[in-house]
Structure 1
Amino acid sequence: MAKFQNLFTWAVFMITLLAQAMGKKITIGANGEDNDWDNAHATFYGDMGGSETMQGACGYGDLFQQGYGLETTALSTALFNNGLNCGACFEVMCVDDPQWCIPNSGTIKITATNFCPPNWDPAPDHWCNPPMKHFDLSMAMFTKLAQAKAGIIPIKYRRVSCSKKGGVKFELKGNPFWLAVLVYNVGGAGDVTSVRIRGSKTDWLQMSRNWGQIWQIGSNMVGQSLSFQVTTSNGRTLEFDNVAPGDWQFGQTYGGKNNF
């Protein structure tokens, strides 16, 4: 019996490690915040202009055009959660490194817009490999906390509520038989976990997540005005009625009147 319990405990332990490696789901409260600080490390990519931080694994495209700017980060596997944490917001501070941390730099707030992929080549400094928690910041954000020549710094981080101007945005992509929607500028928890769509000629239909925060449905929605229901990771759902008019076009963005 004792041997069986030991094997069971070992199995639970290994499953836990595997889950952490595949991506951590960060639990937050109803207001989209987590008061507990956790430990991680941070580096940066790109230059001060942020050109290399555009596009990325969340599907947001031009981060300046969409309002995210340079206040962004790529997340390691342990935090990215296979893209479900795209849009989540974090507060970060530089700690325990007096050589490189800028004195009294305080904290920065950033939005997850990209993925920092693991590197399986043998080396001790692959910071984005699981199970390590790592933030690959834009250079502009990194240098608010530490000197650029530091390269990598220890940090503390926590989830915070996203504060976005204006309503939730919906960019329509695809073709007459396949509609994809990029959902962005999401406040509150920031990360979207479910999207439903309703045309003026249909009932509510569940969309599936393609990648990042791009959601899709294999239905012809052309010629119908479109409404959306969006649910974020803290369980809040908002309805956006008649966001896109009946003559909407692929490649266009339509904004809701409200936000989380």
Structure 2
Amino acid sequence: MALPLSVLLVSLLLLIAVPDIYATFHHGVHHAVGSRAHHRIVLPKHHRPKFKPGPWKQAHATFYEGGPGSFGGACGYDDVVREGYGLDSTAAVSNVLFNNGQACGACYEIKCINSPQFCKRGQQSLFVTATNQCPPNYYQSSDNGGWCNEPREHFDLAEPAFLKIAEYRGGIVPVQYRRVPCKKQGGIRFTITGNPYFNQVAVWNVGGAGDVVSLQVKGNKKLKWTPMKRSWGQKWETNAMLVGESLTFRVRASDGRYSTSWHIAPKNWQFGQTFEGKNFK
């Protein structure tokens, strides 16, 4: 028996509408799932929060004299004034803090405490960068001349820095200190020295945590991501062939954050040149 014309028309309309309804429903489900998947993808793989001040600790401080070049020896900074650290904000740190050169570039807030006779009244906090090592003196007791012997945490400040918080005649004063973020002008600097068969890169003006725990370099052609080895302080070396390639550097700080400076050295870079990359905030 033939169906009435009105029933046939309703059936045809349903056949047309159902695919659209299904497509709409499927798109909605796909969009929701896709949004979640996209959200996972865009999260930075190595996301870390910005470096924040650490806890206060106890230590002592002394001072030493010298020219700009003498304040960066063990860290590899050639001239702390030219490189922006300044004579009034640098410190040599004891072995416990120096940590085989890893502390180079770390920033500290220091206050003179518990010495009314030698701490300057109304003294503000002193902010310094670790730019050198205070070597131990095992011929003297750690409480009588061997100030930088293990396990003491000690700051041997540049004289201009010491005089901001204490009297010259104090000699050695008790302090409290904490790690703080490094605030730098401009980007991280990479100074390349060496020869075609041996490359050394000095890393300086690092913001955020300030200290560098690893450095990688990459070229634009043959050179893949290549780890560089710490030579001393913040000087890093590799035997990889870098000449003729534009160079990208990836810095990792002690707080786990990365900074990648893409192709900052052009293909025709020369030894002795300095290049500016992306800094930590």
Alpha-carbon offset, residue 164 of structure 1: 0.3
1:217 to 232, 238, 244: 238
Give the whole-Å Cα distance in 1 for the aligned partners of 2:203 and 2:252.
Answer: 11
2:131 to 96, 100, 113: 113
Alpha-carbon offset, residue 30 of structure 1: 4.0
Deviates more, 1:55-64 or 1:159-168: 55-64
Give the whole-Å Cα distance in 2 for the aligned partners of 1:54 and 1:259.
Answer: 24
Partner of 2:96, secondary structure, is helix
Instruction: Report the TM-score, using the length of structure 2 for normalisation.
Output: 0.79
Instruction: Give the 5 Å matches for 1:102-251.
Output: 102-123=120-141, 124-201=144-221, 202-251=223-272
Give the whole-Å Cα distance in 2 for the aligned partners of 1:81 and 1:189.
Answer: 15
- The C-alpha deviation readout for 1:135-183, integer Å capped at 9, x for no partner, is 0001111000011111110000000000000000000011101111111
Contact 1:168 1:258 in 2 (8 A): yes
Q: Could you list the runs of 4 or more consecutive aligned residues of structure 1 that deviate by over 3 angstroms after TM superposition? A: 50-55, 257-260
Question: Residue 6 of structure 2 aligns with which residue?
Answer: none
Alpha-carbon offset, residue 33 of structure 1: 3.0
- The C-alpha deviation readout for 1:115-146, integer Å capped at 9, x for no partner, is 00001113432100100110000111100001
Contact 1:72 1:113 in 2 (8 A): yes
Gap regions ≥5 residues in structure 1: 1-28
2:55 to 14, 18, 36: 36
Instruction: Report the TM-score, using the length of structure 1 for normalisation.
Output: 0.85
- CA RMSD, aligned part only? 1.4
- The C-alpha deviation readout for 1:210-259, integer Å capped at 9, x for no partner, is 11011111111111111011110000001100111111111111111444
Comparing both structures, which one devotes a greater share of its residues to helix? 2
Q: Residue type matched to 2:71 in 1?
A: M
Gap regions ≥5 residues in structure 2: 1-47
1:65 to 82, 89, 92: 82
Q: Quick one: structure 1 residues 173 and 52, their matched pair in 2 at CA, closer, same or farther if it must change by over 3 Å?
A: closer
Give the whole-Å Cα distance in 2 for the aligned partners of 1:91 and 1:84.
Answer: 18
Contact 2:94 2:153 in 1 (8 A): yes
Percent of aligned positions that are identical: 47
Q: Quick one: structure 1 residues 214 and 51, their matched pair in 2 at CA, closer, same or farther if it must change by over 3 Å?
A: closer
